[in-house]
């Protein structure tokens, strides 16, 4: 079975996670895919396949004779999809022998224009897979799951020599909790790859350092007719806080390794206002300075309006995996070899975000990220091709070969 055929099955399963939930997993529907994957893994011969109470799927393919000394190699992908677009009743559409032109999505009439998405021209002649326009596709990251499963099937069917292969499928990656309860020790790998990137050939081993910040402003409310020198409008203080941050250090003005402050939410009254931010920077020192700058602004406002007017809660989310990958740079060197052997050019760029692999790297499992062949994730224009998925499978097979000894 080709990887895209598996994707068509997985994509139709409703597995959206929920950032407002306090359960683990955040949605019980993720178990539907987890249970299916356990069944399929057992059918392939991975007898220890299981899903735990938190919806993490683990399985091991023991080493073949003569490869027992090889260190365990892991492959990881996530089962949930984002809620940034509908994830239920997904209807994948196959555009066989795609002509390289604009694509009309039949469910909405929306058009994927080549002028907006120039990469479409490179897919001419391939089997393009899109949604019908009413939902996302879920290739992020069900394509990664499909490619790992297809790689396993071929390793077994073709009797390829291999070291111990450790397989992990996680819930809740899209809400930043995918690695939270991942059992690294039970997983059994010395190092791993997440298969959760974009175009085939991507190799990602740098990501943002990240923190979440909540700014709470306490105001003083009195009748506006007698407010002079008494009222402290919490909303106005919140505006002042935001205005003190560098205007061009925002996501819409940055790229590459440039960091940012991103205002995600705001609410308030005269009495209390809240601002929700995320801070991102690839450089650890610059990341620390960004947090320090927010503390400095709060201190200055408190010196003017009174102690306790502005409160900050800063919580680190994840860190740049490069720090943990450097001592194991064979992971990148071998990913390059595997990519070239699959007929692809390695594409190495820093991630302007994070992955499960970033957190797992800091848990003792060095874990760079590989491409899946997909584009336009998190929206109804999401797409992928069958041929790019095949190429990603070849990359994984080449890695199995490189790590068999």
The whole-number pLDDT of residue 176 equals: 86
The whole-number pLDDT of residue 355 equals: 81
The whole-number pLDDT of residue 353 equals: 78
What's the rounded mean pLDDT across residues 180-200? 96
Q: Quick count: other Cβ atoms within 10 Å of Cβ 267?
A: 11
24 exposed, middle or buried (CB, 10 Å; 0-12, 13-18, 19+)? middle
Decide whether 3-206+320-402 matches 209-317 in CATH topology.
no
- Residue 330 — very low, low, confident or very high, per pLDDT cuts 50/70/90? very high
| Angstrom distances, CA of residue 272 to CA of 186, 231, 268, 303, 309 | 46, 12, 6, 18, 10
- Residue 317 — very low, low, confident or very high, per pLDDT cuts 50/70/90? confident
Are the beta carbons of 335 and 203 closer than 8 angstroms? yes
Residue 173 bears catalytic tag: yes
pLDDT, tens digit (0-9, with 9 covering 90-100), for 287-306: 999 999 999 999 999 999 99
Say how far apart CA 131 and CA 379 lie, in whole Å.
Answer: 10
Q: Which CATH topology does 209-317 take?
A: Alpha-Beta Plaits (3.30.70)
pLDDT, tens digit (0-9, with 9 covering 90-100), for 346-388: 999 998 877 889 999 999 999 999 999 999 999 999 999 999 9
The whole-number pLDDT of residue 354 equals: 76
Say how far apart CA 387 and CA 174 lie, in whole Å.
Answer: 26
pLDDT, tens digit (0-9, with 9 covering 90-100), for 331-340: 999 999 999 9
The whole-number pLDDT of residue 210 equals: 93
pLDDT, tens digit (0-9, with 9 covering 90-100), for 227-253: 999 999 999 999 999 999 999 999 999
Say how far apart CA 340 and CA 372 lie, in whole Å.
Answer: 15
What's the rounded mean pLDDT across residues 183-194? 97
What's the rounded mean pLDDT across residues 62-67? 97
Token reading at 322:
């490069």
The whole-number pLDDT of residue 48 equals: 98
Residues 6+ apart with CB under 8 A from 243: none
* CATH class of the 3-206+320-402 domain in this structure: alpha beta
Share above pLDDT 70 across residues of the chain, in percent, rounded to a whole number: 100
Query: Strands 93-95, 73-78: parallel, antiparallel or unpaired by DSSP?
Result: unpaired
What's the rounded mean pLDDT across residues 93-110? 97
Residue scoring higher pLDDT (175 or 238): 238
Q: What is the pTM of this model?
A: 0.89
Question: If you average pLDDT over every residue of the chain, what do you get?
Answer: 96
What's the rounded mean pLDDT across residues 199-211? 95
Domain boundaries, given as residue ranges, for the chain: 3-206+320-402, 209-317
Which one from 153, 173, 206, 356 is the annotated catalytic residue? 173
Token reading at 44:
């392939």
């Amino acid at each position: 079975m080709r990887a895209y055929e598996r994707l068509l099955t997985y994509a139709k399963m409703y597995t959206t996670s929920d950032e407002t939930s306090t359960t683990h997993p955040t949605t019980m529907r993720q178990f539907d895919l987890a249970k299916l994957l356990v069944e399929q893994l057992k059918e392939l011969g991975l007898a220890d396949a299981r899903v735990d109470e938190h919806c993490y799927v683990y399985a091991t393919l023991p080493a073949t004779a003569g490869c027992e000394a090889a260190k365990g190699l892991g492959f990881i992908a996530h089962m949930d999809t984002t809620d940034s677009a509908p994830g239920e009743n997904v209807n994948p559409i196959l555009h066989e022998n795609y002509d390289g032109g604009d694509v009309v999505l039949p469910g909405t009439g929306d058009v994927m224009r080549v002028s907006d998405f120039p990469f479409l021209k490179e897919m001419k002649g391939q089997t393009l897979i899109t949604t019908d326009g009413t939902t996302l596709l879920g290739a992020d990251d069900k394509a990664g799951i499909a490619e790992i499963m297809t790689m396993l099937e071929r390793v077994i069917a073709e009797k390829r020599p291999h070291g111990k292969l450790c397989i992990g499928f996680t819930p809740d990656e899209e809400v930043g909790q995918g690695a939270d309860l991942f059992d690294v020790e039970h997983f059994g790998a010395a190092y791993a790859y997440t298969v959760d990137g974009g175009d085939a050939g991507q190799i990602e081993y740098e990501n943002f350092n990240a923190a979440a910040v909540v700014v709470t402003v306490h105001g003083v409310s009195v009748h506006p007719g007698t407010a002079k020198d008494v009222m402290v409008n919490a909303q106005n203080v919140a505006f002042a806080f935001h205005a003190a941050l560098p205007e061009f250090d925002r996501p819409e003005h940055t790229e590459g390794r440039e960091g940012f402050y991103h205002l995600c939410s705001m609410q308030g009254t005269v009495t209390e206002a809240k601002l929700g931010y995320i801070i991102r920077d690839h450089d650890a020192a610059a990341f620390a300075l960004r947090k320090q700058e927010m503390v400095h602004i709060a201190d200055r406002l408190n010196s003017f309006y009174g102690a306790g007017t502005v409160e900050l809660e800063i919580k680190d989310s994840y860190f740049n995996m490069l720090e943990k990958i450097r001592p194991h740079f064979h992971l990148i060197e071998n990913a390059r070899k595997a990519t070239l052997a699959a007929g692809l050019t390695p594409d190495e760029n820093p991630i302007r975000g994070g992955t499960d692999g970033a957190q797992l790297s800091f848990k003792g499992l060095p874990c760079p990220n590989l491409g899946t062949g997909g584009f336009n994730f998190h929206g109804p224009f999401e797409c992928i091709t069958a041929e790019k998925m095949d190429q990603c499978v070849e990359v994984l097979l080449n890695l199995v070969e490189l790590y068999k000894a």
